[in-house]
Amino acid sequence: MVGEVPYPYDPGAFPPFAVTADVALFTIGNNALQALLIERGREPFLGARALPGGFVREDEDLRDAAARELAEETGLHAGPWYLEQLAAYGSPDRDPRMRVVTVAFWAVCASLPASPRGGGDAAAANLLPVEDIERGAVRLAFDHARIVADAVERIRSSMEHTALAAGFCPPEFTIRQLREVYETVWGVSLDPGNFQRYVRESGVFEPSLALSAPGRDDTRSEPGRPASLWTARRTESGRPAKAVRRLARPGGKQARNR
Amino acid sequence: MVGEVPYPYDPGAFPPFAVTADVALFTIGNNALQALLIERGREPFLGARALPGGFVREDEDLRDAAARELAEETGLHAGPWYLEQLAAYGSPDRDPRMRVVTVAFWAVCASLPASPRGGGDAAAANLLPVEDIERGAVRLAFDHARIVADAVERIRSSMEHTALAAGFCPPEFTIRQLREVYETVWGVSLDPGNFQRYVRESGVFEPSLALSAPGRDDTRSEPGRPASLWTARRTESGRPAKAVRRLARPGGKQARNR
DNA sequence: CTTTTAATTGTCAATATGACAATATATGGA
DNA sequence: TCCATATATTGTCATATTGACAATTAAAAG
């Protein structure tokens, strides 16, 4: 074998690219699906919104870069989020300055500090309703509108067969909280009774034993029977895993064109 | 605005990466799912198998680069394949020579020239059974074993709700051909009667009108009622689209651990 | 014309889903 | 304490879908 660099490439044999990692972080706030965006403080796209992101470092894994950018932008470290890669976007003209390939990630989390101000990065970060973005009411930089659209589609689809919806909730949650996540992200209204059955029998979630539900009456003051708490079941693949499908209720919100 | 390069980056502000496009092409041959691989002719991983791929050119779109590499490797141009991006792979140590981020694609096609020899590229390309790869019986270069595994999983999953299986068939195909694709890729045995019903009622496929089936007896010589021909239905999203799910038949092949 | 082979359709029980009623368990006030 | 109110949770039942498998159709071969 050779030394430091066993089989060096001819330095001129390949075109150099810049590689960035961008993250579309979603959360639910104000009864709507929200995306974390920053306001660009310089050209190009000065004043437009953009996804948190930046150059991948020399010896940094793509995923680590995405997590780092997210942490820098939200101020939250040891992120309480669920992060997954979406795809690479590398159209030759996506950045007017030079050839940049970005690896996009999507993430979901339960909540965010009221004002997730940039923890040192240039501009301020804030949450904007996905509905506004889908309507084209938000000016997004580069191809970030497409990235957000693709991420939302992936999330909506993934929620049908996995416990992803739990990523929008605290570690333990009530069935109602979970149902409201589905209703908000999918833009539909679900039947509470049938949804209860789904959560109970799908194998995707499981009741939170420990300081479970009925009996933990500490300082609650809402009327009605207290709800039990649930968690996402540890991912044991190799299971059927039922889907949520059409639990919609008759007079509910108008479903999007899925 | 400025001229050629409106907002130039500081050349030293970002680490240069090499970006490549790799393609995992699958087809069905010999009653098994097969992947197109080349044999590496140089270090590192001399002698190991690798996915067709190479550097993305200066002004080339990622997808175009993938299609180009595929065409160069198979000798087929104007590819009769279905090509879609899988994900980016960019672990800092995935290539011992330098920092390379690869954008992986997966593709499926109906058939390939008997011996898809490299159309000019270094090594010979040939098809290897995915089963062997999954079993670890094939030495793959870099992280290509993971890429193949991810691609196979994506394909198996996608086939459940889309017409992707038709990508393994000629433009027009019989229901039996289509069923054999599912059986081969999923490693299960499906009930012919129930599968017929699925094809007929799922909305994913549609009967090939034109020179349809019963009546096109030109030079056939197989016994039995002649099969009608079908095609993938033009993608009209916004439809329910039934899933293939468990049409398995009792004594069929052992299903993989899905 | 009969046998053989494969495609296609039909039947029926077991499940799953959608709609909605009934019951359980809290809070708050009379 | 008892009742009205508000949720959570469980049941019921008609309908739709799925799995298993029988029956029918349409060709080739002898």
Higher-confidence position of B213 and A9: A9
- Is residue A123 predicted with pLDDT exceeding 80? no
The confidence band for B257, taking pLDDT boundaries of 50, 70 and 90, is very low
Q: Is B249 helix (H, G, I), strand (E, B) or coil?
A: coil
In the block, tokens 């290509």 appear at: B144
Phi and psi for B33 in degrees, rounded to 5?
-75, 130
Could you give the residue range(s) of every CATH 1.10.10 domain in chain A?
170-258
pLDDT score, position B239: 53
Could you give the residue range(s) of every CATH 3.90.79.10 domain in chain B?
18-158
- Cα A131 → chain centroid: 15
Here the tokens at position B131 are 């089963």
When the pLDDT of each residue in chain A is averaged and rounded to a whole number, the result is 85
- Is residue B250 predicted with pLDDT exceeding 70? no
Collect all residues of chain A within an 8 Å Cβ-Cβ radius of residue B153: none
pLDDT score, position B77: 78
Collect all residues of chain A within an 8 Å Cβ-Cβ radius of residue B8: 97-98
List the single range of A182-186, A216-220, B90-94 with lowest mean pLDDT.
A216-220
What CATH code is assigned to B18-158?
3.90.79.10
In the block, tokens 């068939």 appear at: B169
pLDDT score, position A256: 39
- Is residue A119 predicted with pLDDT exceeding 50? no
Nearest one of A126, A159, A133, A137 to A147, comparing CA atoms: A133
Q: Between the CA of B223 and the C1' of D30, what is the distance in angstroms?
A: 13
B207, closest nucleotide (Cα–C1'): C8
State the DSSP H helix or E strand holding residue A14, giving kind and residue range, or none if neither. none
Pairing of strands B205-207, B229-232: antiparallel
The complex's ipTM? Answer: 0.89
The confidence band for A146, taking pLDDT boundaries of 50, 70 and 90, is very high
Within 13 Å and on the Cβ side, how many CA atoms surround B83?
21
Q: Which of A2-16, A201-215, B62-76, B187-201 has the highest mean pLDDT?
A: B187-201
List the single range of A122-131, A142-151, A198-207 with lowest mean pLDDT.
A122-131
The confidence band for B240, taking pLDDT boundaries of 50, 70 and 90, is low
In the block, tokens 């968690």 appear at: A231
pLDDT score, position B247: 55
Asked if strand D comes closer than 7 Å to A208 Cβ, the answer is: no
Q: Is A16 on the interface with B (CB under 8 A)?
A: yes
List the single range of A201-215, B99-113, B207-221 with lowest mean pLDDT.
B207-221
pLDDT score, position A10: 60
Q: CB of A55 within 8 A of CB of A20?
A: yes
pLDDT score, position B224: 92
List the single range of A90-99, B57-66, B233-242 with lowest mean pLDDT.
B233-242
Q: Are B17 and A56 within 8 A, CB to CB?
A: yes
Could you give the residue range(s) of every CATH 1.10.10.10 domain in chain B?
164-232
Here the tokens at position B74 are 């198979």
Higher-confidence position of A58 and A8: A58
At the top level of CATH, the class of A170-258 is: mainly alpha
pLDDT in tens, B18-36: 999 999 999 999 999 999 9
- Is residue A65 predicted with pLDDT exceeding 80? yes
State the DSSP H helix or E strand holding residue A76, giving kind and residue range, or none if neither. none
**What CATH architecture applies to the domain B164-232?**
Orthogonal Bundle (1.10)
Q: Which nucleotides of chain C have an atom under 7 angstroms from any protein CB? A: 4-11, 16-22, 24-28
pLDDT in tens, B180-197: 999 999 999 999 999 999
Here the tokens at position A192 are 């509470």
pLDDT in tens, B95-114: 999 999 999 999 999 987 55
In percent, the amount of chain B with pLDDT more than 70 equals 79
Q: Rounded CA gap, A188 and A247, in Å? A: 9
When the pLDDT of each residue in chain B is averaged and rounded to a whole number, the result is 86
Q: What is the mean pLDDT of residues A233-258?
A: 56
Q: What is the mean pLDDT of residues B86-102?
A: 97
Q: CB of A50 within 8 A of CB of A18?
A: no
Asked if strand D comes closer than 7 Å to A162 Cβ, the answer is: no
State the DSSP H helix or E strand holding residue B231, giving kind and residue range, or none if neither. strand B229-232
